[in-house]
């Protein structure tokens, strides 16, 4: 008698991380159920449309089940999870832009905070033993990282104190800072995921992502730093830099490495955990440094403009301290370098744009 395949429910399955997680878990023998209603196209316009990725999943994953559901639909979420009874839930669906949130505060909070609560309660009622893995964000730290002493270098900012040589750890405070409305709605979701873990003893974790990226990202100006930058270069559009001299630093992690960590947590879940999920210092770069990397692979110059005013709540320098992740899951590590990641993004956009 054959053992039925484990069922994984992925929200935001047509997005970058959702699609990569779906493909990876399917390669490990899982049956995949995806929730996505292409809300990204509503938030960002045609450039954010992810239907192409939904079609790709249907072609690549045997038996893939797509559910056209908005996670704000509480009754719909409760009914679907009761029907599927998943063995694990990976929650990647979100309104992901801190700039966009200010224009759509109700949509932002209802999607990020209330949508997450809907999923958590549905899981508690139906499958409380199933690992619940939530894609949070480093924006939960607000602009507190900007209060750290920094040193200005030729092409980037960096931390001035040795204690932050490995980046920002999970012990860093989230209070008394400006988060943006997006950051605040994600804090609410983050805390709720932790609370369902601790209060109800459910296997949950929050992955506070840096720049999660990869070749299948539908990057737009307000979200998707490297992908949008590559797209601008290939189309010879002007990339607009907001403040900090273009020296602001981000750590970038390939979606494949994200998926591998999620799988590691699924196999050995913990209760109410938090991890700073990024590329770490080795995979960090400033906007100016990213320009040079992209030019190297495309052979085209970056066209850019500069505005002195920075984006509200934007980090001057942020990269993740990965030591807790590696200590808890020693079999996991970064496998895709920044150079390889950018190269793959360039190849993907070149194909999509017919370059």
Please name the residue ranges forming H helices in 254-337. 255-267, 287-298, 323-328
Please report, for the chain, the start and end positions of each structural domain, with discontinuous segments joined by +: 7-353
CATH fold of the domain at 7-353: Rossmann fold (3.40.50)
d(CA 342, CA 355): 16
d(CA 347, CA 354): 10
DSSP state of 104: -
Average model confidence (pLDDT) across the chain = 94
Phi, psi values for residue 9, rounded to 5°: -105, 125
Cβ neighbours, 10 Å, residue 161: 10
pLDDT one-digit tens code per residue, 148-173? 999 999 999 999 999 999 999 999 99
d(CA 344, CA 180): 31
From the CA atom positions of the chain, what is the Rg in Å?
19
Cβ neighbours, 10 Å, residue 72: 16
pLDDT band per the 50, 70, 90 thresholds, residue 223? low
- Among 265, 267, 258, which Cα is nearest to 137's? 258
Q: What is the pTM of this model?
A: 0.94
The CA-atom distances, in angstroms, between 333 and each of 323, 330, 337 are: 10, 8, 11
pLDDT band per the 50, 70, 90 thresholds, residue 105? very high
Q: Which residue has the higher pLDDT, 173 or 5?
A: 173
Q: How many residues does the chain have?
A: 355
Q: What is the average per-residue pLDDT within 112-124? A: 98
pLDDT one-digit tens code per residue, 175-186? 999 999 999 999
> Cα dihedral sign for 165, 169, 173, 179?
positive
Q: What is the pLDDT of residue 2?
A: 52
Q: Is 3 exposed, middle or buried (0-12, 13-18, 19+ CB in 10 A)?
A: exposed
Q: What is the pLDDT of residue 222?
A: 60
Q: Which residue has the higher pLDDT, 133 or 47?
A: 133
For β-strands 150-152 and 273-277, DSSP reports them as: unpaired
- Report whether 118 contacts 89 (CB < 8 A): no
Region at 142 (left for phi over 0; alpha for psi -120 to 50; beta for the rest): left
């Amino acid at each position: 008698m054959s053992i039925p395949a484990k069922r994984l429910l992925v929200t935001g399955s047509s997005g970058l991380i959702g699609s990569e997680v779906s493909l990876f878990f399917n390669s490990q023998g899982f049956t995949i159920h995806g929730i996505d209603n292409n809300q990204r196209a509503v938030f960002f316009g045609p450039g954010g449309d992810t239907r192409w990725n939904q079609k790709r999943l249907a072609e690549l994953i045997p038996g893939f089940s797509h559910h056209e559901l908005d996670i704000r639909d509480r009754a719909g979420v409760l009914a679907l999870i009761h029907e599927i009874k998943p063995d694990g839930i990976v929650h990647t669906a979100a309104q992901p832009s801190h700039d966009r949130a200010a224009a759509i505060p109700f949509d932002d909070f209802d999607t990020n905070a209330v949508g997450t609560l809907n999923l958590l309660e549905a899981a508690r009622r139906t499958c409380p033993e199933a690992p619940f893995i939530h894609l949070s964000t480093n924006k939960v730290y607000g602009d507190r990282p900007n209060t750290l002493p920094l040193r200005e270098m030729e092409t980037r900012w960096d931390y001035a104190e040795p204690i932050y040589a490995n980046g920002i750890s999970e012990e860093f405070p989230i209070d008394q800072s400006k988060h943006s409305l997006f950051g605040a709605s994600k804090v609410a979701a983050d805390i709720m995921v932790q609370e369902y873990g601790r209060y109800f003893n459910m296997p949950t974790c929050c992955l506070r992502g840096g720049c999660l990226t990869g070749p299948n990202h539908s990057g737009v100006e307000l979200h998707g730093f490297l992908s949008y930058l590559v797209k601008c270069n290939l189309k010879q559009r002007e990339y607009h830099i907001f403040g900090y001299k273009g020296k602001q630093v981000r750590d970038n992690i390939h979606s494949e490495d994200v998926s591998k960590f999620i799988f590691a947590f699924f196999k050995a879940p913990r209760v109410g955990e938090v991890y700073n999920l990024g590329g770490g210092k080795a995979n960090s770069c400033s906007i100016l440094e990213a320009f040079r990397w992209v030019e190297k692979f495309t052979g085209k110059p970056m066209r850019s403009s500069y505005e002195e005013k920075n984006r509200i709540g934007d980090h001057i320098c942020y990269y993740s301290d990965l030591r807790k992740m590696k200590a808890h899951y020693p079999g996991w590590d970064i496998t895709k370098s920044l150079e390889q990641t950018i190269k793959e993004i360039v190849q993907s956009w070149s194909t999509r744009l017919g370059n």
